[in-house]
Structure 1
């Protein structure tokens, strides 16, 4: 699945680069994206020197390069593997107001061509968990309190050993800013994501399942594996 998603994403990037002098992409940092990112780095014909990379969320309190940070994950998974024009990292250790202002302005100055994301066990996109997701949010990036299901997922994903180690707060790009992307590739493996995926695809479009907002646009491609799909086709 990751390879197929990467091949189609690469085709999209190549087409955009034929028309644009440079493009801007937002990436998700999660183990669910690892296969996709590994395969994307292998794809031929992408002029990465004309691609600016961004990411969609980061834990408050974790500095640049911290081994548990999302900026570290993406640096190791893609930003340091191919020659981006720029890799723009969220620094969770900076004062929140300063960092949200800084990164928000970066994104305002760089309309997003492609966003690569997943769906959380609670239906979140980025760290827009159900209690804090806002489909009409006026902010570009904001501080949020992570809900319990989200924090437990970080333990399930083996990002942290215990729940107590998982930060309680994070910075996240907001739902409207993610949805403003020209193209969205949503990669969702694992049976742990089955219920959230079913809710996103068949339930009400509401912040109870933030990923349901993806149904309001026709620029989304979703990739799910058999474990995630379950009996969805029925």
Structure 2
């Protein structure tokens, strides 16, 4: 695991965009796209590079982490709509190859199995972007999730619903259930990038990076992965015991070694 601490949000977005750009320019690839507020700045930076620097996503395809159950995909709060409004509509990534779990499926359990299979048949995810909840969830794997879980239905905690209420007209409008990639599914991606900014994420980041591997903090499962980059601003890094070492290691990173 490599922890990269940058001075502000803009530099976090730039570092993460550099990784995605390198993968995209390497040829055909599969991107794992997170929703929520954490990756939005990265998406905007990638869109800028598309407009100004000719970065093309025409050889890429993508899979989303999760989707609300029962929310029509054309509703703006759905993650199907969110990722198009925040990213896909601003680059040359074909919307037809941006796949998300179908939260309107008549058989949700079968849809979860189908989605896991689709990711595998697509060659697996090359780089997976992740946010982190204040309770340590990634995707919508709430505390208590099996560390080997697959794509499935999860019930959102009241804290997560409250955190997401800002995207809805009223707190009661936030769905109670989601289809989410499981922790085991997420771990199959070749490279994980966890993005966190702001002091509100500091406790969760510290638990994920330096705490015990535990279902109590689902994001701690990243400690098991062979290639993880945790990119945070100073505020989100404020509870890290080894922050000085992480800064030192990044400052002295070999020129040949990328994230």
Q: Which TM-score band applies after superposition, normalised by the shorter structure?
A: 0.7 to 0.9
Greater than 6 Å deviation, 4+ residue runs? none
Supply the distance in 1 between the matched residues of 2:223 and 2:82 (Cα, whole angstroms): 29
| Counterpart in the other structure of 2:63 | 54
8 Å Cα contact 1:24/1:112 also seen in 2:
yes
Which segment is superposed worse, 51-60 or 208-217? 208-217
Larger Rg: 2
CA–CA distance in structure 2, aligned partners of residues 83 and 177 of structure 1: 27
Change in Cα spacing, 1:83 to 1:205, as seen in structure 2 (3 Å) is same
Instruction: Identify the structure with bigger relative contact order (alpha carbons < 8 Å, sequence gap 6+).
Output: 2
Kindly tell me: are residues 11 and 101 of structure 1, through their superposed partners in 2, closer, same or farther at Cα, counting changes over 3 Å? same
TM-score (normalizing by structure 1): 0.88
Kindly state the Cα deviation for residue 230 of structure 1 after the two structures are TM-superposed. 2.4
| Root-mean-square deviation over aligned CA pairs | 2.1
1:1-234 mapped onto 2 (5 Å cutoff): 1-17=8-24, 20=27, 22-43=28-49, 44=53, 46-85=55-94, 86-95=97-106, 96-110=108-122, 111-131=124-144, 133-137=145-149, 139=150, 141-155=151-165, 158-232=166-240, 233=243
CA contact (8 A) 1:53 1:79 kept: no
Larger mean CA deviation between 221-230 and 50-59 belongs to 221-230
Query: Deviation of residue 231 (structure 1)?
Result: 4.4
Structure 2 gaps of 5+ residues are: 1-7, 245-259
Q: Would you say how many aligned residue pairs link Structure 1 and Structure 2?
A: 228
Distance 1:37 1:15, change over 3 A: closer
**For the Cα contact (< 8 Å) 1:27–1:115, is it kept in 2?**
yes
Matched position secondary structure for 2:103? coil
Equivalent position SS for 1:121: coil
